[in-house]
């Protein structure tokens, strides 16, 4: 009579393969979730980007574009951007000069955002008719935030 079943070595090989796959998949999934939170935070600032461009076209001075309700800026500025369930980034504006406008998304105290801070900088194009936006993801990688280099 022949017995059927798996040997111990076959079961150990299967467990090892599953362990290797999990070791690769779990960190990738965590980065995916973090990038989704960052995408939510950054996309929720689109109205502020538009308002900053409008303000710059009216004043040619970004220092005039950080006050809520003035020069086309939204009447109330949010203190955070992103998910309402506590995964949003603390949000701040600074018009440092006539040539740069910065939006800071501070997730340094938020593990859902990988404790990262992203700075989005708007600079006028050569003709001064539009803003070009660039991102600095600080100490975090593009794999974590989805922006930067």
Residue 2 lies in a domain: no
pLDDT tens digits along 36-45: 888 888 887 8
Domain that holds residue 76: 9-142
Kindly list the averaged pLDDT for each block of 10 residues, start to end, along the chain of length 149.
85 97 93 85 82 84 78 71 61 72 82 84 81 83 80
Residue 90 covered by a domain: yes
- Residue 121's pLDDT is what? 86
Answer yes or no: is 138 within a domain.
Answer: yes
Q: Is residue 117 part of a domain?
A: yes
Domains: count for the chain: 1
Q: What span, in angstroms and rounded, lies between the C-alpha atoms of 140 and 149? A: 10
Q: Which H or E run contains 103? A: strand 101-106
């Amino acid at each position: 009579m022949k017995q059927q079943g798996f040997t111990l070595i076959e079961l150990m090989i299967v467990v090892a393969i599953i362990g290797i796959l999990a070791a690769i998949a779990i960190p990738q999934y965590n980065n995916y979730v973090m990038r989704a939170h960052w995408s939510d935070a950054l996309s929720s600032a689109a109205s502020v980007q538009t308002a900053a461009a409008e303000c710059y076209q009216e004043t040619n001075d970004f220092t005039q574009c950080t006050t809520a309700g003035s020069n086309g800026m939204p009447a109330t500025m949010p203190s955070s951007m992103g998910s309402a369930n506590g995964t949003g980034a603390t949000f701040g504006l600074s018009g440092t000069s006539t040539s740069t406008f910065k939006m800071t998304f501070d997730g340094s105290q938020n593990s859902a955002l990988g404790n990262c801070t992203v700075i989005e900088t708007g600079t006028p194009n050569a003709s001064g008719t539009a803003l070009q936006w660039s991102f600095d993801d600080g100490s975090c990688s593009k794999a974590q935030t989805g922006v930067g280099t």
